[in-house]
Amino acid sequence: MNRSETLTDRPDFALVGVLRVPGIQNSPGTAILRRIGYALTALALVVVVVYLDRDGYSDTQGDDLSLLDCIYYATVSLSTTGYGDIAPITEQARLINVLVITPLRVFFLIVLVGTTLSALTESSRQAFKIQRWRRSTRNHTIVAGYGTKGRTAVTAILGDGVRPSDIVVVDTDPVVLERAIGQGLVTVHGSATKSDVLRLAGADRASSIVVATNRDDTAVLVTLTAREIAPDARIVAAVRESENTQLLRQSGANSVVVSSETAGRLLGVSTTAPTVVEMIEDLLTPETGLAITEREVHPSEIGDSPRHLSDIVLGVVRGGHLHRVGGPDIDTVQQGDKLLYVRRVPS
């Protein structure tokens, strides 16, 4: 049976590696150095304790303990080797051994096996995060395909203030999924053309789905599958050829972006008016400069002309349809309208 046919029926622990919910990323080298530092600190503390109370210890030859003897005793004691050639002989030394050195010995062992325990429990922690994510995530965004288009789309979404944990990337390439994990995104390893993969990504609870695949036929299939699962989600798809635009809309896409024609227009404009292209890039980059965005109409703006508002309004969305400013249909804004406007992004 195909793996993707039973994904949604699997228990959470069986989804580890397919669905990944990022957490706090720590460098392995940093973690190892930190643990070594803890171990050396415990060792140094035992050396100091034993050296200060060295008169309470005796070796097999009856000699006084030197600093090297104290280091030796601390090492074999914390590692639980215990050769017995140095031992506490006074009540004070034995009491210190019980109250100080024994707890440090336990701590030292915990530090040494901590990395192994961390590796063994990582699967359980990931299963718990998967369970919590599947139970609580709503109104998120799914990006099918994490190539150049998908990564650029995610950058724009993040620039609009969306949290990385509210974006789910679906792709079949483990390498690009690692990049997504590095950005703090949730990832699903699988083909977005499979209904179980999209259900695992929470498509039935998503608010929007971005189809950024490399092939137009794949984009059509992903759109059909997504629309069947998520009838109310907003689906935005990218295609290379304009002749496939209508097919994408019939498949259920709310918006279709023709990547090849858009790039061609920008290339043509740049030969005669390069600053126009620069401005368009600025408007499409939400992190700095100017950005095109959408907002609700404020109560104080109802009845006013969109051309006379404080913001530069490009269009009015009414009843789900975009009306450009200056057209005959929109003289004043009404309650329930949305404004498509240019806003300045603080640097």
Instruction: Give residue-wise pLDDT tens across range 75-112.
Output: 777 766 666 666 666 677 667 766 777 677 677 777 66
Residue 255's contacts (CB-CB under 8 Å, 6 or more residues apart) are 234, 235, 236, 237
Q: Which pLDDT band holds residue 12 (cuts at 50, 70, 90)?
A: low
- Average pLDDT for 160-187: 91
| pLDDT on residue 3 | 44
- Name the average pLDDT for the chain: 81
Contacts of 281 (CB under 8 A, 6+ apart): none
- Residue 307, CA atoms < 13 Å, CB-side half-sphere: 8
**How do residues 304-330 score in pLDDT, each as one tens digit?**
888 888 888 888 998 878 888 877 778
User: What angle, rounded to 10 degrees, do the helices at 67-78 and 28-52 form?
Assistant: 130
CA gap 325, 79 in Å, rounded:
77
Contact between 237 and 257 (Cβ < 8 Å): yes
Q: What is the pTM of this model?
A: 0.62
